[in-house]
Amino acid sequence: MSAPPNKPTPDPAAALAAAPWPDIDWLPSETAVELPPATGWYAPLKPSVDYLLALVIAVPALPVVGACYALVRLTSAGPGFYLQTRSGLKGKPYRILKLRSMAHDCEAKTGIQWSQKGDLRVTGLGKFLRRTHLDELPQLVNVLRGEMSLVGPRPERPEVIAAKGLARQVPGYARRLDVKPGVTGFAQLQLAADSDLTSVRHKVAYDLYYVANQSLLLDVRLILATVAKAAGVSMPWLRRLFLLARRERVGQFFLTLTPQAPPLAGGSATQFQPV
């Protein structure tokens, strides 16, 4: 008798992102989010810290990027790197540099869209580069140019923000642009890639938690956690090892930023419908 086929290992990040989160999902689109400015010594010095750390990381990263670039060129048609316009600090556009993980010029056929699980546009090597986050290493150039931070919200394309109506439909979305986007981040590390408006709402809650609580210690923990995740450490263990705030704490904090929102926790779920 043949053994039953192995079931694919579930992705904890995708499962967490897909799980209902009523306090966030049911907030009206017009909900105002009041994010106080960051205080303390770290926020004004963060650009200098980013620059110094990026220089240090770039030394061992350079040969790795070179090897990955060569493999991309050998395994699929097209350039090894790709440049793409993203929204940076205060929405200012800049050109992000990454190792190419999809078929060259794939959106000429599909149009603008978020990457989905099992996306056929991602190359075989690209799956490995994405899983290990090696495709992100060239963004160290963007950090050295002052366009990005090592840690911050994930940068999105201006045309996606406009086409999906993110600034209109996701409470607090504009506030995530109060800081530079990051190569890695509190939300990027713990949640799956954006796939719909609900997933963006969840990401924004995590992003604003980071923006309000950013510190050198938190940034170091998130960088080390990203390396550990690339090495295969599971998300539950990453949260334990690096003392990362759980969803409940993030949600409670986000609601403190929305003083005009109706109280949902403990109330009747029938009063509201997911947006």
Given a cut of 90, whether residue 171 has pLDDT beyond it is: yes
Q: Tokens standing for 209?
A: 């938690």
How many domains is the chain built from? 1
Question: What local confidence, expressed as pLDDT, does residue 6 receive?
Answer: 47
E strand segments, 152-257: 182-184
Top pLDDT among 13 and 174 is at: 174
User: Residue 109: inside a domain, yes or no?
Assistant: no
User: Residue 206: inside a domain, yes or no?
Assistant: yes
Q: Which domain holds residue 92?
A: 22-102+116-259
Q: What span, in angstroms and rounded, lies between the C-alpha atoms of 61 and 132?
A: 13
Q: What is the pLDDT of residues 247-272, one digit of tens each?
A: 999 999 999 998 765 554 443 333 33
Residue 93's nearest CA partner among 102, 84, 101 is 84
Given a cut of 70, whether residue 39 has pLDDT beyond it is: yes
What percent of the chain is helix, strand and coil (3-state, nearest 5)? Answer: 55, 10, 40
Question: What local confidence, expressed as pLDDT, does residue 275 receive?
Answer: 38
DSSP 8-state class, residue 80: S
User: Residue 107: inside a domain, yes or no?
Assistant: no
User: Residue 111: inside a domain, yes or no?
Assistant: no
User: Residue 208: inside a domain, yes or no?
Assistant: yes
User: Residue 266: inside a domain, yes or no?
Assistant: no
Q: What span, in angstroms and rounded, lies between the C-alpha atoms of 119 and 106?
A: 11
Q: What span, in angstroms and rounded, lies between the C-alpha atoms of 242 and 183?
A: 18
User: Residue 140: inside a domain, yes or no?
Assistant: yes
Given a cut of 50, whether residue 229 has pLDDT beyond it is: yes
Provide the mean pLDDT of the chain.
Answer: 86
Top pLDDT among 169 and 116 is at: 169
Q: Provide mean pLDDT across the span 73-79.
A: 92
User: Residue 204: inside a domain, yes or no?
Assistant: yes
pLDDT-based confidence at residue 26 (cuts at 50, 70, 90)? confident
